[in-house]
């Protein structure tokens, strides 16, 4: 009698599954060696699948409840020697009827249930396409963004890991030792108590210890009272029995030692679920994650740099083709919305007339908050005001910092979420700030600050240029290059009182371009501006160095004729009028002539500051009513 008969199928199954495990390990080892990323991916997934199959089917091995007794072996022998009775047993098992026992011993009858259980065929399983294929729409959408694509692959990998190790929750955390924080990248869980917060500080929990010590850890018994301190990712107690975590390494450069940048962790409801073999298997997965990270880090940097470059080009285009600050700040907000996760964005600039910091642009897709364009910012008692004062960026968790409002007092209390504020500052001036807000907590890092700063710096330069232009334009007309009305008014007042105090001669001339609308309609704005430049340049060349010509109005120029009497001023004006009328203006293949009308007013003892200039304007109006192209003295 052979007592090893029931054990042989078990040994055969074990040999087959050990062979599959060996093949899986071999495939994953090849994956480490091959240079191609996709070949690495295929070998790792194939090897992992082989090992996963063995783990998932380990409970299906038909292990006998106990070694058969001599009596059971005897029963088996009798059944095998009676072919007709054995056929009856098989038929009964297939039909589901009772096994016939007439003429048989009690031993055979006792063995029948075991025999029936072992020879009954398994029910056929039904599978669908979804068991083996993921929707291409999801993958295609993720491939538009390398970060989304990586997150999708990591989530799929966590699904495999969770099922392989019968886990309750599987998580990948990114860790930053320098900043002292960890962030949930992906997680698969059956729990309803998983924390919604993605970011939390490193502490004394198990995941933090793995990150700091760079060593894996296993815990096969967890006290419910200390669960929150040990795990940290549930907001309520879960019936966790086992936990395992391993470090994820990343090597930035070949000459630099790899560093821990993440932690892969699992927990299970049953106790004593994990051992050293678990860590060894998870090590293969972390190697695959490291390979994926290297590939996607390079790809993400390229895409991120490309996106930033495109945003910079659009921002620069807006600055170059507009003379208004609001165009630049609007472009800054729109480009920031393309690079940073946001729910609301506000750009704050200084308003000179109001003498206050004011919100100039708002993007708000949630309706949250109580801020709008034109709202003033509290310079002292607000987060934005604090950044304006310090000139340094800040990341603020609103739920943790309630001592100040975002913009001004009176905002809704109990606000949650993340707030990132960057000053818009040059080397010498601070022009404002940009505030980006997200309703979710712990959304921003210094990497986001660095990315947004790449937009803020050129915006600061553009605003500085606009400031310089505003200052220069207050003294020089941008189209003609002569003095501005602002400067003309300032110098007119000085020269008027100088002449009045020293009883000197002083005359004012107003030059008006005749029929400007004809030139504008016929030749366009460019040639019209060139015509104004010619008129101003001729005046400038005929004046003495200390005399002034300025763009006084759209079609008019003002002239300060210092130490010139009324007659001398009239002679100069007539010579100028004739020169303009007798010369042809040629530009862009167009040739034409123009005329001007001039009004002159001279200082007298009875004339005050306002009256002298007003007399010159009245003189030119009367000359225009007379048909133009003449000089009139008031």
- Asked if 135-300 and 485-633 have one fold, the answer is no
The predicted pLDDT at position 459 comes to 84
Asked whether residue 103 carries a pLDDT value surpassing 50, the answer given is no
| H/E run at residue 292 | helix 276-320
Q: Tell me the pLDDT band of 56, cut-offs 50, 70 and 90.
A: low
Mean pLDDT, all residues of the chain? 80
For 18-28, what is the mean pLDDT?
A: 70
485-633 — its CATH code? 3.30.70.270
| Distance (Å, whole) CA 619 – CA 634 | 5
Asked if pLDDT for residue 544 goes beyond 60, the answer is: yes
pLDDT more than 90, % of the chain: 45
In angstroms, rounded to a whole number, what is the distance separating the alpha carbons of residues 196 and 417? 12
Q: What is the DSSP letter of 272?
A: S
pLDDT in tens, 421-479: 999 988 778 889 999 999 888 889 888 898 899 888 888 888 877 777 777 777 888 89
CA dihedral 188, 136, 297, 199 (to 10 degrees): -30
Contacts 24+ apart (CB under 8 A), 601-606: 601/507, 601/508, 601/633, 601/634, 602/505, 602/506, 602/507, 602/508, 602/564, 602/565, 602/566, 602/569, 602/633, 603/496, 603/499, 603/500, 603/505, 603/506, 603/507
**Chain segment 386-409, per-residue pLDDT in tens:** 999 999 999 999 888 878 889 988
pLDDT of residue 568: 96
The residue with greater pLDDT, 327 or 48, is 327
Fold designation for 135-300: Beta-Lactamase (3.30.450)
**pLDDT band at residue 31 under the 50/70/90 scheme:** low
Confidence band of 14 (pLDDT split at 50, 70, 90): low
Per-residue pLDDT, averaged over 149-160, amounts to 85
Extended strands (E) in 70-180: 169-176
How far is CA 43 from each of CA 32, 47, 299, 347, rounded to the nearest angstrom?
9, 6, 22, 51
Predicted local confidence at residue 492, as pLDDT: 94
pLDDT at 8 exceeding the cut of 70: no
State the architecture of 322-467 in CATH terms: 2-Layer Sandwich (3.30)
The yes-or-no verdict on residue 99 having pLDDT over 50 is no
What are the residue boundaries of the structural domains of the chain, listed by start?
7-119, 135-300, 322-467, 485-633
pLDDT band for 83, please (50, 70, 90 cuts).
Answer: very low
Residue carrying structure tokens 């290059």 = 481
């Amino acid at each position: 009698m052979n007592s090893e008969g029931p054990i042989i199928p078990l040994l055969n199954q074990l040999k087959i599954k050990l062979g599959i495990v060996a093949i899986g390990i071999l495939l994953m080892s090849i994956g480490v060696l091959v240079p191609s990323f996709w070949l690495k991916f295929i070998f790792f997934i194939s090897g992992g699948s082989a090992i996963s199959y063995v783990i998932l089917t380990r409970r299906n091995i038909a292990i006998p409840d106990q070694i058969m007794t001599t009596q059971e072996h005897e029963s088996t022998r009798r059944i095998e020697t009676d072919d007709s009775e054995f056929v009856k047993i098989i038929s009964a098992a297939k039909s589901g009827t009772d096994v016939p026992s007439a003429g048989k011993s009690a031993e055979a009858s006792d063995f029948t249930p075991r025999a029936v259980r072992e020879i009954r065929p398994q029910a056929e399983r039904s599978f669908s396409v979804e068991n083996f294929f993921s929707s291409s729409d999801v993958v295609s959408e993720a491939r538009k963004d390398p970060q989304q694509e990586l997150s999708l692959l990591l989530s799929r990998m966590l699904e495999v890991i969770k099922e392989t190790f019968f886990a309750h929750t599987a998580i990948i955390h990114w860790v930053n030792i320098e900043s002292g924080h960890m962030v949930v990248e992906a997680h698969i869980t059956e729990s309803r108590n998983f924390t919604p917060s993605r970011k939390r500080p490193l502490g004394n929990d198990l995941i933090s210890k793995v990150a700091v010590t760079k060593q894996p850890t296993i815990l096969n018994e967890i006290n419910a009272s200390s669960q929150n301190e040990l795990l940290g990712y549930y907001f309520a107690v879960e019936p966790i029995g086992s936990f395992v975590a391993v470090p994820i390494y990343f090597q930035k450069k070949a000459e630099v030692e790899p560093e821990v940048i993440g932690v892969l962790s699992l927990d299970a409801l049953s106790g004593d679920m994990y051992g050293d073999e678990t860590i060894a298997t998870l090590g293969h997965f972390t190697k695959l994650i490291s390979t994926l990270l290297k590939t996607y880090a390079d790809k993400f940097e390229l895409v991120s740099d490309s996106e930033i470059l495109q945003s910079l080009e659009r921002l620069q285009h807006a600055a170059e083709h507009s003379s208004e600050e609001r165009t630049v700040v609007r472009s800054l907000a729109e480009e920031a919305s393309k690079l940073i996760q946001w729910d609301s964005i506000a750009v704050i600039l200084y308003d000179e007339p109001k003498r206050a910091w004011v919100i100039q642009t708002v993007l708000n897709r949630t309706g949250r908050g109580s801020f709008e364009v034109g709202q003033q910012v509290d310079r002292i008692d607000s987060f934005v005001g604090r950044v304006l004062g310090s000139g340094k960026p800040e990341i603020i968790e609103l739920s943790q910092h309630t001592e100040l409002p975002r913009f001004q007092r009176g905002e809704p209390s109990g606000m949650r979420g993340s707030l990132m504020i960057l000053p818009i500052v040059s080397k010498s001036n601070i022009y404002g700030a940009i505030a980006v807000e997200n309703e979710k907590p712990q959304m921003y890092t210094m990497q986001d600050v660095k990315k947004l700063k790449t937009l803020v710096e050129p915006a600061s330069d553009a605003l500085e240029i606009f400031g310089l232009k505003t200052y220069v334009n207050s003294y020089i007309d941008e189209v003609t290059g002569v003095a501005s009305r602002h400067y003309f008014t300032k110098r007119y007042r000085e020269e008027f009182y100088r002449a009045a105090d020293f009883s000197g001669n002083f005359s004012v001339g107003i030059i008006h371009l005749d029929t400007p609308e004809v030139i504008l309609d016929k030749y366009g704005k460019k040639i019209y501006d060139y015509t104004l430049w010619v008129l101003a340049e001729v005046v400038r060349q005929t004046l003495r160095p200390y005399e002034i010509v300025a763009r006084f109005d759209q079609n008019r120029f003002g002239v300060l004729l210092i130490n010139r009497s009324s007659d001398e001023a009239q002679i100069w004006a007539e010579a100028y009028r004739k020169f303009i009328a007798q010369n042809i203006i040629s530009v862009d293949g167009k040739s034409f002539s123009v005329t001007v009308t001039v009004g002159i007013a001279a200082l007298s003892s009875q004339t005050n500051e306002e009256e002298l200039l007003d007399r010159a304007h009245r003189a030119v109006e009367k000359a225009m009513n007379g048909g133009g192209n003449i000089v009139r003295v008031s």
